[in-house]
Structure 1
Amino acid sequence: MTRREGGGAVLLKLLLAGLVGYALLVGLLYTQQRQILFKPDRGTPERPADAPDGFAEITSQTADGLSLSHWYLPPARAGAGVVVVLHGNAGSRDGSYRKFQEIHAWGYGLVLADYRGYAGNPGAPSEAGLIADARSVLDWLAGQGVPAGRAVLYGESLGSGVATALAAEREVAGMVLEAPFTSVADLAQQQYWYVPAKWLVRDPFDSRARIPSVSAPSLILHGDRDPTIPVDHGIALAEAAGGRAELARFPEGDHLNLWRVGADARVRAFLQRVLG
């Protein structure tokens, strides 16, 4: 064997090894994607020590037979409207309470929803599952005399995909999206640019495709310094909404601090407009 032939054989082996390693990486990302996307804290949260009068742990029934626990703070007066909070991929109703209890202080009802597989709830999370979970919360509210037309969906990060899907199929009073994505598939392709991530995603949460079907007024909150979901996603969603969404950008905002840099005031004004 000549030196050139020997060098070619080594190069071929390196190329094959690289292809095998790449295939293993793609396979790992595909099989582990739900562990990457969903980060549930499975422990059951305790009732807050400062829970106001009327605070209740409620149970909703999903269409596929799960009983899910959530927290409910009724409005100060009948008919004031209710905000349904759909938290992000690592959240829980406990974290939602600490962040959003101010909404209840403004006089609105508040449902701090949780998903299957999260916060002591049974089941395993998926796109279809989380949307069914949120749907069951609206069904529970309807059973309490609160129609969807008096409810505002508040989707936080991953919850923005859940909120958009639900608002596209039901007539709600309004929708707030905090740090939303156009789709998980788009976001995955940005983060894993070296693999065909967009085509591997099992739970795409395609909000860009769904938001044109949302008839309710919407408020999109996004930080210009968001390192997790770039502000371009919020801009693209507002454009896809066709003029039915108001985009509020925060120059000092990142993925977690929007309520500390002015988003609370924008949310309060929006709720006053759509719920009164």
Structure 2
Amino acid sequence: MSSVPEDRFRRSPVPLITHGARRTVLRADDGVRVEALYEPSPGGGTAGPAIVVAHGFTGSLDRPAVRRAAQVFRQYAAVITFSFRGHGGSGGRSTVGDREVLDLAAAVRWARSLGHGKVATVGFSMGGSVAVRHAALYGDGSGSAHGGRTEANTAAHADAVAAVSAPARWYYRGTAPMRRLHWVVTRPAGRLVGRVGLRTRIHPRDWDPVPLPPVEAAARLGTTPLLVVHGDRDPYFPLDHPRMLAGAAGDRGELWIEPGMGHAENAAAETLLTRIGAWLVAA
């Protein structure tokens, strides 16, 4: 979710589908259908790097802010956007960051199947926590999260990760927006609001078991570089969250605190997205 209305970007001249793009439906390891869109980098072909974009809660691959970010990243690499389960045209229900690692793994595998040798991931808010956990769980190619070492799990690893406006720990309720979010996720009336008003289908069951917290995942990245980006006016998560994430990553972590920035993809300026894209390709 974001502190900046998406209407701000609705009149963007960015085309929704670029020349050479292809849509498909991927299958996560648990069988959930995941809609995805591949857009090649102009002149880059499949020999170059690819960036996989993981949106925030209530987002989708067709949301204006996600499309805008994708077009900026295409200056540096081919881009895959997708809708997490329970969002957009994907199947299933949102588990708010738990099983979503399977959706991201499917998108990364698709990038590698298209011939991209280097695949980086960038996640916003919920997508940021998913990207960090995905990098830890698939980083050594073992697929330790779901079923041991396989060729498919080896293909799902990320070579570099950026987490924008991501939480460091679960169940945070220290801000009014997060208390509202918890109401949406945990109450039947809230899930109805999520389905009808926010176009997000939320799973009614609690986590069992509780997934690896992002800060612990950041400590398990090994050699995978992590960029943590956070706005100093983020209304959802205060600055101790990004500092914890970057600190846990040690020498492989880099922290950017952005003055005046709010929350997630809707608040990310084009200049910031440009810097992130350049970092992901160079890392």
- Aligned-partner Cα distance in 1 for 2:270–2:261: 6
Amino acid at match of 1:250: E
Aligned-pair distance for 1:266?
Answer: 2.5
8 Å CA contact 2:22, 2:37 repeated in 1: yes
Shift in alpha-carbon separation, 1:71–1:205, aligned structure 2, 3 A: farther
Q: How far apart, in 2, do the equivalents of 1:107 and 1:246 lie?
A: 20
Which residue in the other structure is 1:178 paired with? 164
Confirm or deny: 8 A CA contact 2:167 2:214 kept in the other structure.
yes
Shift of 1:60: 1.1
Uncovered stretches (5+) of structure 1, i.e. residues with no partner: 1-35, 37-47, 193-199
**TM (normalized to structure 2)?**
0.70
Corresponding residue number in structure 2 for 1:188: 173
1:157-215 CA-to-partner distances (Å, cap 9, x unmatched) read 00011101111123422111101110222x236655xxxxxxx9636561001111113
Partner AA of 2:215 in structure 1: R
> Equivalent residue of 1:94, what SS?
coil
Quote the Cα distance in structure 2 between the aligned partners of 1:223 and 1:189.
Answer: 17
Letter in 1 for 2:102: A
Q: Deviations over 1:37-66 (max 9, x none)?
A: xxxxxxxxxxx8552211111221111122
- TM-score normalised according to structure 1 size: 0.71
Corresponding residue number in structure 1 for 2:215: 208
- What letter matches 1:70 in structure 2? A
Whichever residue aligns with residue 178 of structure 1, its letter is: V
Matches within 5 A, 1:20-99: 49-75=15-41, 76-77=43-44, 78-95=46-63, 96-99=66-69
Taking a change above 3 Å as real, the CA distance of residues 261 and 248 of structure 1, as seen in their structure-2 partners, is farther
Shift in CA distance, 184/253, structure 1 to aligned 2, threshold 3 Å: same
Q: Give me the whole-angstrom Cα distance separating, in 1, the residues matched to 2:270 and 2:39.
A: 25
Task: State the identity as a percent.
Answer: 25
Q: Do the aligned partners of residues 204 and 183 (structure 1) sit closer, same or farther apart at CA in structure 2, a change above 3 Å counting? A: farther
Residues 223-242 of structure 1 correspond to what in structure 2 (within 5 A)?
223-242=231-250
Partner of 1:157: 125
Partner SS for 1:241: helix
CA–CA distance in 2 between the matches of 1:261 and 1:63?
34
* Larger CA Rg, structure 1 vs 2: 1
Distance 1:68 1:241 in 2: 30
Number of matched pairs:
218
| Distance change in 2, residues 1:260/1:209 (3 Å) | same
State the alpha-carbon separation in 2 of the partners of residues 247 and 261 from structure 1.
Answer: 18
Of 119, 123, 130, the match for 2:100: 130
Determine the structure 1 residue equivalent to 2:257: 249
* Higher normalized contact order (CA 8 Å, seq sep 6+, divided by chain length): 2
Q: Structure 2 unaligned runs (5+)?
A: 2-13, 140-156, 180-204
Aligned equivalents of 2:220, 2:248: Cα separation in 1: 10
Deviations 1:111-166, CA, capped at 9 Å, x for gaps? 0121111112211111442111111112222322234xx11110100001110111
Structure showing the higher helix proportion among its residues: 1
More displaced, 216-225 or 48-57? 48-57
1:243 partner amino acid: D
Partner residue in 2 for 1:113: 82
Q: Which runs of 4+ in 1 moved over 3 A?
A: 188-192
Distance 1:101 1:205 in 2: 32
Are 1:268 and 2:281 matched, yes or no? Answer: no
Compared CA separation, residues 233 and 111, structure 1 to 2 (3 A): same
Alignment RMSD (CA, Å)? 2.5
